[in-house]
Structure 1
Amino acid sequence: MSFSLGVDRIVTELDFVRLHKLGTSHMPAGFPDVLELAEQVASPVVPPDVVTMYSQIDLLEAGADRPRRLTLCYPQDAEPAQGFISVLSPLGASLLGLRVGARARWRTPQGEQRQARVLAILFQPEASGDYTT
């Protein structure tokens, strides 16, 4: 498993459906279980402090001096050098559904354990009234 199941997560119903359409064979180990255990909510009622798809966040990795700004996206939109992180990457999968203040935990492809705290959500589509992105 590449990240912790023990963290409460909230996922919009739309994100849940879209992620399952990508196919579980493309998902990081354990991510299908995380999705199944997450609380599913309608997009208009997702709390504004929850990381959803296309949320832009500030994240402080353990041991780092400064936060990183990332946008969680689908694989076809991933541009890691620009801060667009695929939800199917170990880091991306560890972020989906977390609340501000929560710790993301994941394992890099090289097997290294990492963790970071979600400091802020700078933009969440649902909070701005966008329920279809």
Structure 2
Amino acid sequence: MHKTFGGERLLTEIDFARLNNLSGTQFPPELVDTLDSLDLVPSREIPPDVVTMYSQVIVEDLASGKRQRLTLCYPADAEPHLGFISVLSPVGASLLGQRVGATARWRTPNGDECAAEIAALLFQPEASGDYTT
């Protein structure tokens, strides 16, 4: 499946396969919705400004203006206090497939609405030639 790269959210085929192979995992509704709306592309064709698994981003909270460095990861590698955010979390699901400049939106467990702009993508595995991480 090859589609044009407009404003849609993209996901590498390998990230999609790995997410679907997480054993014993109940996906949160946010991630199910995200996976249903993403366009799949081969890793070598993902644009360098798209958040993929293990991408490191700077996000800016729209309410406070606070900037934070986050790395999107699988649940086993999550360490939120160090900025490693699981793709199964509301924040992680909202970042997956977004482009630099996009606004990620999510709800906290207590129902508060949050939003942050993806201000920069510091590292994307595919952009550095790593198509298997």
Same fold (TM over 0.5): yes
Question: Cα deviation per residue 1:42-88 (whole Å; 9 max; x = unaligned)?
Answer: 00110000000000000001222331000000000000010000000
Distance 1:29 1:87, change over 3 A: same
- Tell me what 1:3 maps to: none
Contact 1:125 1:131 in 2 (8 A): yes
Q: Which residue of 1 aligns with 2:118?
A: 118
Distance 1:22 1:33 in 2: 17
Contact 2:30 2:93 in 1 (8 A): no
Partner of residue 4, structure 1 = none
Give the whole-Å Cα distance in 2 for the aligned partners of 1:101 and 1:32: 23
- Aligned ranges 1:1-133 → 2 under 5 Å: 8-22=8-22, 26-133=26-133
Give the share of equivalent positions with the same residue, in percent.
Answer: 57
For normalisation by structure 2, the TM-score amounts to 0.90
**Most deviating of 75-84 and 63-72:** 63-72
Tell whether the 8 Å contact from 2:51 to 2:96 is kept in structure 1 after alignment: yes
- Give yes or no for contact 2:103–2:115 (8 Å, CA) kept in 1: yes
Conserved 8 A contact 1:44-1:131: yes
| Alignment-derived partner of residue 4 in structure 2 | none
Paired AA for residue 98 in structure 1: Q
Which is further off, 97-106 or 63-72? 63-72
* Residue segments in structure 1 that go unaligned for 5+ positions in a row: 1-6
Matches of 1:121 and 1:69, distance apart in 2: 9
SS of 1:40's equivalent? strand
Separation in 1, partners of 2:115, 2:65: 14
Length, aligned pairs only: 127
Distance 1:24 1:49 in 2: 31
CA RMSD in angstroms, aligned pairs only: 1.5
**TM-score (normalizing by structure 1):** 0.90
- 2:51 maps to amino acid: V
